[in-house]
């Protein structure tokens, strides 16, 4: 978890000295070159303020995820890929960068999986996440067409988090039913 956040910081610092704009590797919807941005965009940030605003919530949410789930890397990769693919398919024509799609995906994942699992630990984490980030989740997915903030990246990240929670929770229930 700390390695993941550390890599994001390293990419930002390396980007400062590269002779090209590293953010051009972000998600550019419906372009072949923009496909590379699906896995790369969480590591790219427009500026230091953008990076700082993503670092704290990402660290907290990754800690909560690691404390609640055994397969955190699969969950993170799934949210990044599904949310990024949806953004590539349906986002406005611009280059989208940043870890906020992953952040919104983790918020949604932790909320939904906590409710679906019906176990006290995940449910408590869901309550904490709802308290800390519920308002952010709701306000961040509202379209703000005049802003450079990728509200659609937030929205598709949240959708991806919900999908991953439902898929992983259902898989667990189905495999228990087959064993019994």
pLDDT in tens, 139-150: 888 887 777 889
Residue among 169, 159, 132, 135 at smallest CA distance from 58: 132
Residue among 12, 103, 98 at smallest CA distance from 56: 103
Q: Give the pLDDT of residue 178.
A: 39
Give how far Cα 50 sits from Cα of 46, 57, 82, 167, Å: 6, 12, 22, 31
| Contact partners, residue 71, CB within 8 Å, separation at least 6 | 168
Cβ–Cβ under 8 Å, residues 97 and 41? yes
Q: Give the pLDDT of residue 159.
A: 97
Render 44-69 in DSSP notation, one character per residue: --SSHHHHHHHHHHHHHHHHHHHHH-
SS3 31: coil
Convert the pLDDT of each residue in 26-81 to its tens digit.
999 999 999 999 999 999 999 999 999 999 999 999 999 998 866 899 999 999 99
Mean pLDDT, the chain, rounded, equals 90
Cβ–Cβ under 8 Å, residues 52 and 110? no
Q: Give the pLDDT of residue 171.
A: 52
Q: Give the pLDDT of residue 134.
A: 85
Using alpha carbons only, give the angle 76, 162, 47 rounded to the nearest 5 degrees. Answer: 50
Cβ–Cβ under 8 Å, residues 162 and 108? yes
Mean predicted confidence (pLDDT) in 128-132: 90
* Helices assigned H by DSSP within the chain: 2-17, 37-40, 48-68, 72-90, 100-117, 120-140, 151-179
Convert the pLDDT of each residue in 85-126 to its tens digit.
999 999 999 999 999 999 999 999 999 999 998 888 888 889
Q: Give the pLDDT of residue 135.
A: 84
| Contact partners, residue 92, CB within 8 Å, separation at least 6 | 29, 152
Model confidence at 19: pLDDT above 60: yes
Model confidence at 174: pLDDT above 50: no
pTM, two decimal places: 0.90
């Amino acid at each position: 978890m700390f390695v993941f956040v550390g890599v994001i910081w390293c990419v930002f610092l390396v980007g400062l000295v590269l002779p090209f704009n590293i953010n051009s590797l972000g998600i550019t919807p419906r372009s072949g070159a923009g496909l590379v941005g699906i896995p790369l965009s969480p590591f790219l940030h427009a500026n230091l303020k953008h990076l700082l605003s993503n670092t704290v919530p990402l660290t907290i949410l990754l800690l909560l995820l690691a404390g609640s789930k055994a397969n955190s890397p699969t969950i993170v990769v799934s949210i990044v890929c599904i949310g990024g693919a949806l953004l590539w398919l349906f986002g406005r024509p611009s280059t989208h960068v940043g870890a906020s799609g992953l952040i919104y995906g983790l918020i949604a994942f932790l909320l939904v999986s906590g409710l679906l699992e019906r176990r006290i630990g995940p449910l408590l984490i869901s309550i904490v996440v709802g308290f800390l980030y519920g308002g952010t989740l709701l306000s961040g997915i509202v379209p703000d067409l005049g802003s450079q903030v990728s509200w659609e990246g937030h929205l598709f990240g949240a959708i991806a988090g919900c999908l991953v929670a439902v898929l992983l929770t259902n898989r667990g229930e189905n495999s228990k039913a087959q064993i019994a």
